């Protein structure tokens, strides 16, 4: 069978009325910005390079004869992804058409893209990154080792939503009520706005709270369609008029070094300078290290590590409804 017949066979086997193709055609519009034209060209080159690295044998197709393409043909990618040949050809040629998330997911799976390549594909197509939050929160053992070695300096890991993912013994000694919260309430913003002050005893709230809300909003734009994000903002707005007011200001900021002052129930004033370091993780995780600003703070944290103190605090105040059992460790 020659090349032309192989192509004809694939075209005949392409399912008519495919839902992916119909959805893509329905969503197709012409984009006119110069920046988008550059992205379309980059998208075309990226798809072509990923297609050419996959052999027919790798996806269960016969090699055929007179094959001039180093990898898969366009019609083969279209068949495997369940999209129309013409539509995929236009996409790879950089024509001004749009693709839905479902279509790009099918193409990404066919081309065997890893997480970084899949994210790159979404960005080139001007689609928001789709993150699997069920698996994205796993941190490697090396991260926990780093946190342990930083003690007696308090240190933790947050994601960009301010969920607390991991911490060391010094952090637990400084904020014992926070780390004992149910998993779904281990969120800094929730603790500050919907819980009693003893759960997260920041002293200078007038300065700290606007900064934290601005940082949360700066990250929100990358996740505006994700239920975990929209749900958090909706719940916080309902629980706290102060949060709703700050959120409505539309201020944005990036994570960075800050001066943090805590009014600890047992130790009194504790002053720190925070250092933030990004981790190469899909959930936009970052390590935050609290460096004591004076010897007094250093000594008091060391004492708390040896003499754990848990303040009396109504952790089931309004808004702090139980949701899932708290873990005993920072895993």
DSSP-assigned letter for residue 29: -
Amino acid 22: pLDDT? 38
What is the C-alpha to C-alpha distance for residues 218 and 254, in angstroms, rounded to an integer? Answer: 7
- Which range has highest mean pLDDT (124-128, 130-134, 177-181)? 177-181
Specify the residue for token string 């081309």: 111
Q: What percent of the chain has pLDDT over 90?
A: 35
- Which range has highest mean pLDDT (56-65, 179-188, 252-261)? 252-261
Q: Please check whether residue 81 lies inside any domain of the structure.
A: yes
- Which range has highest mean pLDDT (173-177, 220-224, 277-281)? 173-177
> What is the total count of domains within the chain?
2
Amino acid 199: pLDDT? 67
- Which range has highest mean pLDDT (22-36, 111-125, 139-153)? 139-153
Q: In a 10 Å sphere around its CB, with 0-12 CB exposed, 13-18 middle and 19+ buried, how is residue 212 labelled?
A: buried
Q: Give mean pLDDT, residues 125-129.
A: 68
What is the C-alpha to C-alpha distance for residues 51 and 69, in angstroms, rounded to an integer? Answer: 10
Q: Reply yes or no on whether the pLDDT at 33 is more than 70.
A: no
Handedness of CA 50, 52, 58, 59 (dihedral sign): positive
The verdict on 119 and 58 lying in the same domain is yes
The verdict on 63 and 191 lying in the same domain is no
- CATH code of 202's domain: 3.30.450.180
Bigger pLDDT: 37 or 31? 37
Amino acid 145: pLDDT? 96
Roughly what angle, to the nearest 10 degrees, separates helices 85-92 and 19-27?
Answer: 50
Q: In a 10 Å sphere around its CB, with 0-12 CB exposed, 13-18 middle and 19+ buried, how is residue 99 labelled?
A: buried
Q: Give mean pLDDT, residues 256-263.
A: 91
The verdict on 107 and 146 lying in the same domain is no
Q: Reply yes or no on whether the pLDDT at 165 is more than 70.
A: yes
Q: Reply yes or no on whether the pLDDT at 211 is more than 90.
A: yes
Amino acid 275: pLDDT? 96
The verdict on 145 and 280 lying in the same domain is yes
Q: Please check whether residue 214 lies inside any domain of the structure.
A: yes
Amino acid 301: pLDDT? 94
For residue 9, give the nearest of 76, 74, 63 by alpha carbon. Answer: 76
The verdict on 20 and 152 lying in the same domain is no
What is the C-alpha to C-alpha distance for residues 94 and 41, in angstroms, rounded to an integer? Answer: 5
For the chain, the average pLDDT equals 78
Domain residue limits at 261: 141-306
Q: Please check whether residue 314 lies inside any domain of the structure.
A: no
Q: Give mean pLDDT, residues 26-48.
A: 65
Bigger pLDDT: 102 or 131? 102
- The token pair at 237 is 């707005």
Amino acid 309: pLDDT? 78
Amino acid 267: pLDDT? 87
Q: Bridge-partner residues for 219, per DSSP? A: none
Per DSSP bridges, beta strands 164-167 and 155-158 are antiparallel
The verdict on 51 and 159 lying in the same domain is no
Q: What percent of the chain has pLDDT over 70?
A: 78
Q: Reply yes or no on whether the pLDDT at 294 is more than 50.
A: yes
This prediction has a pTM of: 0.58
Q: Please check whether residue 82 lies inside any domain of the structure.
A: yes
**What is the edge-to-edge ordering of all strands in the sheet holding 286-292?**
164-167, 155-158, 286-292, 268-278, 259-264
The verdict on 166 and 241 lying in the same domain is yes
The verdict on 295 and 153 lying in the same domain is yes
Q: Please check whether residue 311 lies inside any domain of the structure.
A: no
Q: Please check whether residue 330 lies inside any domain of the structure.
A: no
What is the C-alpha to C-alpha distance for residues 266 and 312, in angstroms, rounded to an integer? Answer: 11
CA 280 remoteness from chain centre: 11
């Amino acid at each position: 069978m020659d090349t032309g017949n192989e192509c004809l066979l694939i075209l005949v086997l392409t399912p008519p009325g495919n839902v992916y193709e119909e959805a893509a055609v329905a969503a197709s519009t012409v984009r006119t910005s110069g920046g988008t034209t550059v992205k379309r060209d980059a998208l075309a080159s990226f798809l072509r390079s990923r297609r050419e690295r996959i052999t027919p044998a790798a996806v269960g197709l016969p090699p055929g004869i007179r094959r001039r393409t180093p990898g898969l043909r366009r019609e083969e990618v279209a068949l495997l992804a369940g999209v129309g040949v013409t539509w995929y050809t236009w996409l790879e040629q950089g024509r001004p058409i749009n693709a839905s998330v479902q279509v790009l997911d099918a193409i990404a799976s066919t081309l065997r893209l890893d997480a970084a390549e899949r994210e790159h594909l979404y960005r080139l197509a001007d689609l928001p990154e789709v993150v699997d939050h069920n698996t994205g929160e796993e941190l490697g053992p090396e991260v926990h080792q780093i946190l342990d070695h930083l003690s007696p300096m308090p240190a933790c890991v947050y994601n960009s939503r301010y969920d607390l993912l991991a911490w060391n013994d010094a952090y637990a000694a400084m904020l014992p009520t926070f780390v004992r919260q149910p998993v779904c309430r281990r969120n800094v913003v929730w603790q500050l706005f919907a819980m009693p002050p003893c759960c997260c005893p920041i002293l200078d709230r007038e300065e700290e709270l606007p900064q934290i809300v601005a940082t949360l909003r700066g990250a929100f734009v990358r996740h505006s369609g994700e239920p975990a994000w929209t749900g958090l903002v909706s719940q916080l707005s309902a629980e706290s008029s102060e949060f709703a007011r700050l959120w409505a200001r539309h201020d944005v900021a990036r994570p960075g070094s800050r001066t943090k002052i805590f009014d600890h129930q047992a130790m009194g004033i504790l002053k720190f300078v925070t250092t933030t370091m990004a981790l190469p993780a899909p959930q936009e995780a970052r390590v935050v290290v609290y460096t004591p600003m004076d010897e007094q703070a250093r000594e008091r944290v060391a004492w708390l590590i040896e003499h754990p103190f848990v303040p009396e605090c109504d952790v089931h105040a309004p808004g702090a409804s139980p949701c899932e059992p708290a873990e005993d460790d920072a895993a």
